[in-house]
Structure 1
Amino acid sequence: MSLFGNDGSKPRKRKPGVVDTLVGSNTEIRGDVLFTGGLHVDGRIKGKVLSTPGDAAILSVSEAGSIEGDVSVPILTINGQVSGNIYASDKMTLAPNARVTGNVYYNRLEVQAGAEVNGQLVHDPGGERAPASMHEMRGDFAVGDLRDVRDLRRPKVAS
């Protein structure tokens, strides 16, 4: 058994809503973040945040969390601050303390009393307005980098 409960011999089964990565309240990341699985932000990210193409990723931003940059992810819950355009291809929830400055492109949207959006809300059920396969948003990431991140989550099994 490894430190994190998976010895790498077989792929881990994903549970819905599981947080794989946590940006703690005393953490600030400067640069783009590319992730798979679940990401929870209690700290600050200054850069773009996006999930790998085809991944059923979940991003949550707590009341203490903030993101300064564009966000592209299938499922998103915000209770903190986001300054940048948002592309939520599946579902987006704006909790009571959510403060968004930028345009929001969504498929399904839940807005709770108290949430604020300073920008346009655009219904985008097919995700046509989202960056094409994240290529437009990914900045310095190369296509090979996207493939490598996905491969880390699914260890290769010898034939």
Structure 2
Amino acid sequence: MASKSNSTFSVLGSDLAIKGDIKASADLHIDGAVEGDISCASLVQGETSVVTGAIKAESARLAGTVNGSITARELVILKSAKINGDVYYDALTIEQGAQVEGRFAHRDAKAKQAAAAQPQVGKPDLQVAN
């Protein structure tokens, strides 16, 4: 991923509690509480932060609590993190002591499962004649 020279970094402080989805083209640092889905380029979550919702990011560094699924190309789960939800990743690092309740799946496997669940177009269904 090429970095932009004019990229910005948004910070949500520990005194903030947000209810609703967050979409950011910039990098995001969250120390507060978020109840909603988060979509951003890069996410850094502080130890005091609680996110209830799905996280989608190119890269994520999680140190707080997440109640929801996580999808990231590069994911780092720090020892202070508590994750309750499924984790989809390309590259994964977990520090000793981190707590994760959920399933891990490489994003390639997730894509293959989705493709397998799709009905095959052009193949007729077999039917038994009476």
Q: Please tell me the TM-score bracket, short chain as reference.
A: 0.7 to 0.9
1-side partners of 2:35 and 2:75: how far apart?
21
Partner deviation per Cα, 1:107-147 (whole Å, 9 max, x = no partner):
10000011111000111148738xxxxxxxxxxxxxxxxxx
Q: Given the two structures, how large is their TM-score scaled by the length of structure 2?
A: 0.78
SS across alignment from 1:128:
helix
2-side partners of 1:113 and 1:98: how far apart?
10
Q: 1:93 aligns with which of 63, 76, 83?
A: 76
Instruction: Look up the match of 1:28.
Output: 17
2-side partners of 1:28 and 1:14: how far apart?
28
Aligned-residue offset at 1:26: 0.4
Moved over 2 A (4+): 125-129
2-side partners of 1:126 and 1:23: how far apart?
33
Partner deviation per Cα, 1:44-95 (whole Å, 9 max, x = no partner):
11000013xxxxx11011101111001111100100010001111x200000
Larger-gyration structure (1/2) = 2
Identical residues among aligned pairs (%): 28
Aligned AA for 1:46? Answer: E
Pick 1 or 2: higher relative contact order, CA cutoff 8 A, min separation 6: 1
Aligned AA for 1:81? Answer: T
Aligned-residue offset at 1:101: 0.2
Residue 103 (str. 1) matches residue 86 (str. 2):
yes
Instruction: Look up the match of 1:45.
Output: 34
Instruction: Look up the match of 2:115.
Output: none
1-side partners of 2:97 and 2:29: how far apart?
21
Tell me the matched-pair count: 110
